[in-house]
Chain A
């Protein structure tokens, strides 16, 4: 009985915790960090569609994220309303995703990774070097946040709740996707592409649609980022940003719903904690990256469980005489 309800209870507890963050976080700074965790969780969930379920590792997703943020930012600067800017950003990102997908899906595996990396670098090149359009290194800043249904989002708490609603929608969409025939067929193309073709599935089309689905949630995450920071700069499209979100997916555990969320929380919190003490975030990012890939390729959560079990077994073989301890067998 307990086994069935435990996940539900945990989910209800998590939901309760998430929906009361502004009450116990104490400080609007921490509420803002929580907003960022949620928005990067949406980004990581989007990338996980390709990395986890599709087996397609992209190093260009920061480019899609940036297209969304920049399109909305530039449209708002040009005098468009929020609704138009949001629609424009989603449309532009979907179009860019389609172009990315057509080019990158010429290949899979390492080839896919290289092509997405190059495409991401093109986006960076445009954001950084085409200063007439994007304002170059100075970035684009916004003066206002939108007010859906007349609710102002200018405060940290109200923005957090808006982000939470979007995050839960994304989570529900991902859960539906995971259970849908489409999700199953994408997993099929990851594990047995040839058999899927033999069964009559259009593997290319499935991957293409998955790329668009991923691109859509990237654009949502990019919009949340733009409105959260009210500023966007070429930094978000750099290779480091693509690597960061990939680290979120890998560190939490790919092809799961909770993995990317846990990964986003770990990376964002670490980034803030590390930045408070040392300036070497890239160094820390690199070290974690190397450590996780070398020692826990399956992700932090399953990896820690494995290493903990290994340590316990070693402890038992080294100390067989101890009886009645907490870890001893009955």
Chain B
């Protein structure tokens, strides 16, 4: 029983991390119609930035490091969109392959700079303890991650559903050419959403580092998860990303515990089911 509860808490925390990662992925996909195959690289690079800032030599606070890393990655992400993806506007396939090529470059550069050893920062001091509920022990930090994810989800929902910017993004997701016609600068939205997605992924990378640690190959581990979440939830749908993230969070953790050999395969089964039964995803409108 205790094991199951612990697993459940871990699953929810992992789901929260996945949401931070895949919310941006989903918005980028919804708006620009391309899966950003360097989203895992944003996550890993952000995490490396964060742990570097937390080194004693720099000495940044955990949250300062997370925010600084998010800002840095927003600039890098915006730059990638402006300088590289923009050149290939309209050629979706070339854009996808470009992000794939960039992800190889990033992963090799990270290996070169941060070596092959894993880095695992301590959780921020105020969340290092545990919570005892009725004789059971939960690590406080995982609960904090859940709270952060829920707060970010709420903020994103407020932005997308209740602000002018959100309305423009929704218009772009629904029909980019018509949005252009009514005077929305969709290409500026592209840059903005790409930067926002990169920032969220980097933030998730730093927040996840005390749990997952940062190691070469983290990008390739996270990207397929974001991909499944978005195929499950439907592209461009934040609610879909939220539900998909927690679903995959549970499957991943329970799969690891019950069938460690096949955990990775189990992860993909609901995606295959959704593809066959409901190709647009649980909350999606158009096809994938």
Contacts and interface: CB of A to CB of B under 8 A. Distances in A.
B112 A280 contact: yes
A121 B224 contact: yes
B276 interface: yes
B98 A290 contact: yes
B262 A130 contact: yes
Given A290-B84, A294-B87, A114 B104 contact: no
Contact of B103 (A122, A125, A286): A286
Interface in A281-298: 282-283, 285-290, 293-294, 297
Nearest to B33: A110
B120 to A, nearest CB: 22
Contacts of A280: 108, 112
A129 B261 contact: yes
A103 interface: yes
B104 A285 contact: yes
Interface string A92-110: 0000000000010011011
B91 A297 contact: yes
Instruction: Specify the main secondary structure of chain A where it touches its partner.
Output: helix
Interface in B66-102: 84, 87-88, 91-94, 96-98, 100-102
Contacts of B287: 107, 111
A208 to B, nearest CB: 15
Contacts of A246: 97
A103 B274 CA distance: 10
Interface string A299-320: 0000000000000000000000
Contacts of A110: 33-35, 92-93, 96, 288
B272 A103 contact: yes
B104 A122 contact: no
Given A129-B262, A282-B108, A294-B87, A109 B93 contact: yes
A239 interface: yes
A166 interface: no
- Tell me what chain B mostly uses at the interface: helix, strand, loop, or mixed: helix
Given A110-B34, A129-B262, A118 B268 contact: yes
A290 B268 contact: no
A131 to B, nearest CB: 7
Contact of B101 (A113, A119, A289): A289
B101 A293 contact: yes
Given A114-B35, A280-B112, A289-B104, A106 B276 contact: yes
A129 B92 contact: no
Given A106-B275, A114-B227, A129 B264 contact: yes
A307 to B, nearest CB: 16
A107 B287 CA distance: 8
B104 A283 contact: yes
A290 B94 CA distance: 9
A293 B98 contact: yes
Interface string A51-91: 00000010100000000000000000000000000000000
B137 interface: no
Nearest to A122: B268
B238 interface: no
B191 interface: no
A230 interface: no
A115 interface: yes
A79 B84 CA distance: 53
Nearest to B107: A282
A126 interface: yes
A286 B275 contact: no
A117 B227 contact: yes
A31 interface: no
Given A129-B261, A243-B104, A121 B268 contact: yes
A243 B104 CA distance: 10
Given A110-B34, A131-B261, A297 B104 contact: no
Contacts of A290: 84, 98, 101-102, 105
B220 interface: yes
B231 interface: yes
Contacts of B275: 103, 106, 115
Given A113-B93, A283-B105, A294-B84, A243 B100 contact: yes
A107 to B, nearest CB: 5
Shortest 5 CB-CB distances between A and B: which pairs? A125-B264, A289-B101, A286-B104, A286-B105, A283-B108
15 contacts: A106-B276, A107-B287, A109-B92, A109-B93, A110-B34, A114-B35, A114-B288, A117-B227, A125-B264, A130-B265, A132-B261, A282-B104, A286-B101, A286-B103, A286-B106
Interface of A: 57, 59, 103, 106-107, 109-111, 113-115, 117-119, 121-122, 125-126, 128-133, 238-240, 243, 246, 250, 280, 282-283, 285-290, 293-294, 297
Interface of B: 33-35, 84, 87-88, 91-94, 96-98, 100-109, 112, 220, 224, 227-228, 231, 260-265, 267-268, 271-272, 275-276, 279, 287-288
